[in-house]
Structure 1
Amino acid sequence: MTPFLTGQPDSNLCISVNAQTGEWNTVACGLTECFVCETPQAMSDCADWYKAGYKDNGMYRILLNGQSYNVYCNMDNGGGWIVFQSRINGNELYWNRTWSEYKNGFNTEQMNTNSNFWLGLNLLHQLTTKNNDVTLRIEMRGDRTPGSTKANAYWFNEYTKFQIGDESTNYQLINMYVDWQNNKGNASTGWYDMTYSIGASFSTVDKINDPQTDCVTKYKMGGWWLRNCALSSLNGDYAIDKSNDGYGMFWIVNGLDDIIHPRESIMMIRPTSFG
């Protein structure tokens, strides 16, 4: 069944379709509408949409392995980014979400720059394996650590060769790479970052794949690639436990002496060849 908007269709009106989302709508028959009857290719990611001339941030429709999906495209910083994690405040719990929620995604109905959402590991696996090389971009804003002088700071980093396995591997973080000698970002100045988790399986509260179960249950790092905990955890508990810096939602910027608890985070990907 064609995905009509809520309350549609109205048999007394004419029909139009949004080329980005694939959703149909009814409009007055006297209203002038533009229609796309044929597209030169099926868009498989936000980079395809950007190359086709669509350069506004927003939700777009992509096609992967015969299945269509809604994704949020960030067209800044060169454009073509698919956002798979957005965290803007502590209104949504991430650390105690289930395996099914992380597999299929949550809060994806209305994805935008002012919402908390996770796109889903199943789709992330497909997106990171359809191209030979995928770039991961991480951005973080503000440090909530008590007494921090970086309450309004901004950090980012980009990693190439980013790849996530399928469910049979527990969505293992297969690879990611940064050239430390030519690193353009400021979020990582050493090995103490997400690269520590290379080879680690994904863990949730109902499916702990870390040999140290406390990493999920006590330190509340659920929803992340854990192996004897981790040196980053952007889906961890938003609350701050003063007894331990490496708790909940945190990131290590410059060695173990510089741990931040970001106010906001965003994780997004695009084909490395696009950039």
Structure 2
Amino acid sequence: MQVFQHRRDGSVNFYRLWDSYKNGFGEASGEHWIGNDHLHKLTFLGTTDLYVRLEAFSGLWYYAKYSDFKVADESDEYRLSLKAGSYEGNAVLYVPKCLFILLKMKVFQHRRDGSVNFYRQWDSYKNGFGEASGEHWIGNDNLHKLTTLGTTELYVRLEAFSGDWYYAKYGDFKVADESDGYRLSLKAGSYEGNAGDGMDNHGSTDPSGMKFSTIDRDNDNAPALCTFARQGAWWYNQCTLTNLNGIYGNGTCLTTETCNFWYLISSSYVGVKTSYIMVRRLENQFYCASCKSSK
């Protein structure tokens, strides 16, 4: 197995000219590109596979493998070829005109340090904000697409400031499109976990069945704005026992009940230190995420 590209920390600039990629750059012990001349020679020594191994910032690992991997010489501009239909793995598959993503577990909300403001308006939650490497919301349009590709679960992983970890899982997780206010639905009675059932089975505080609300779009069932009362954005009913997009931490927000809390962890409005809210796919299906030229 010969590594021809490695990246791990951004220490090497990969935005380079033709000759740099032709000859290679970086050090084999760190970030590098082996060089297209060398890559051509390696792939014409016999039958070769392309093997790609990737680590997401979440810590999850993915791979993709293709057969009959060849890179032509410079006269053919290092043209890439792979055996059609040979893909194996859990990462990505390029086919003509579309990029398909095999989805297992996708983080759509992450908080860890309060560096990103989550008290935002409708369009911000619609389109998403933050960076995948840090605190972020993936966007309600994307969340709708992810939850309508097949059977999906909602998986919530939470760390308290004590260092203890909790989780909650629900079946048949769906988020409607914008015309229905990104309405949330979960399978009744499907809760599993140790965080407490904060999303279903509590009547007037259940997010399940509710439209999404932001400071400029009130879709809750409360007499006053839950987005103002909780200083967040969520599938508020008559407010909620969960407020993971509220104010980060345990300062003033604790007494005003506006922290990023999951109430049933401690029967209090204490915020959580870390949150991951994820979509988990139950089938191995592919999603056309973005159309591209087949050139």
Asked whether the two chains share a fold, i.e. TM above 0.5, the reply is yes
TM-superposed deviation, 1:248: 3.1
The one-character-per-residue Cα deviations of 1:12-34 (angstroms, maximum 9, x if unpaired) are 3558xxxxxxxxx9873334374
TM-superposed deviation, 1:141: 0.2
Q: 1:108-257 counterparts in 2 under 5 A?
A: 108=131, 111-112=132-133, 115-131=134-150, 133-143=151-161, 151-179=162-190, 183=192, 185-188=193-196, 191-192=201-202, 196-212=206-222, 213-222=224-233, 224-240=234-250, 241-245=253-257, 247-253=258-264, 257=267
**Which 5+ residue runs of structure 1 have no aligned equivalent?**
1-5, 16-24, 43-51, 55-59, 74-79, 144-150
DSSP-derived class of the 1:157 partner: strand
TM-superposed deviation, 1:203: 1.2
Q: Distance in 2 between matches of 1:204 and 1:41?
A: 45
TM-superposed deviation, 1:166: 0.3
Q: 1:255-274 counterparts in 2 under 5 A?
A: 257-273=267-283
Distance 1:228 1:157, change over 3 A: same
Q: Look up the equivalent residue of 1:104 and give its one-letter code.
A: N
The one-character-per-residue Cα deviations of 1:146-201 (angstroms, maximum 9, x if unpaired) are xxxxx111100111010100010110113344436xx3x10115735998111211
Q: Identity percentage over the alignment?
A: 25
Q: Distance in 1 between matches of 2:146 and 2:278?
A: 11
Q: Distance in 2 between matches of 1:225 and 1:234?
A: 11
User: Is contact 2:204-2:238 (8 Å) kept?
Assistant: no
Distance 1:13 1:142, change over 3 A: same
Matching of residue 84 in structure 1 with residue 111 in structure 2: no
User: Is contact 1:8-1:26 (8 Å) kept?
Assistant: no
**Which 5+ residue runs of structure 2 have no aligned equivalent?**
1-12, 23-31, 43-49, 51-68, 70-80, 285-295
Structure showing greater Rg: 2
Q: Distance in 1 between matches of 2:186 and 2:167?
A: 19
Q: Look up the equivalent residue of 2:244 and give its one-letter code.
A: L
User: Which stretch has the larger CA shift, 203-212 or 27-36?
Assistant: 27-36
User: Is contact 2:259-2:270 (8 Å) kept?
Assistant: no
Q: Look up the equivalent residue of 2:121 and give its one-letter code.
A: T
TM-superposed deviation, 1:124: 1.0
> What is the number of residues matched between the two proteins?
218
Q: Look up the equivalent residue of 2:37 and give its one-letter code.
A: G
User: Is contact 2:249-2:272 (8 Å) kept?
Assistant: no
- Deviating 4+ runs (over 6 angstroms): none
Q: Distance in 2 between matches of 1:188 and 1:81?
A: 21
Q: Distance in 1 between matches of 2:84 and 2:245?
A: 37
Q: 1:54-93 counterparts in 2 under 5 A?
A: 54=90, 68=99, 80-93=104-117
User: Is contact 1:87-1:266 (8 Å) kept?
Assistant: yes
TM-superposed deviation, 1:271: 2.1
User: Is contact 2:261-2:271 (8 Å) kept?
Assistant: yes
User: Is contact 1:219-1:248 (8 Å) kept?
Assistant: yes
Distance 1:176 1:90, change over 3 A: farther
TM-superposed deviation, 1:232: 0.5
Q: Distance in 2 between matches of 1:122 and 1:41?
A: 32
Instruction: Give the TM-score normalised by the residue count of structure 2.
Output: 0.62
Q: Distance in 2 between matches of 1:192 and 1:260?
A: 19
Instruction: Give the TM-score normalised by the residue count of structure 1.
Output: 0.66
The one-character-per-residue Cα deviations of 1:125-153 (angstroms, maximum 9, x if unpaired) are 1111110x21111000014xxxxxxx111
Alpha-carbon RMSD: 3.5
Distance 1:236 1:258, change over 3 A: closer
The one-character-per-residue Cα deviations of 1:212-237 (angstroms, maximum 9, x if unpaired) are 44321232022x11122112011111
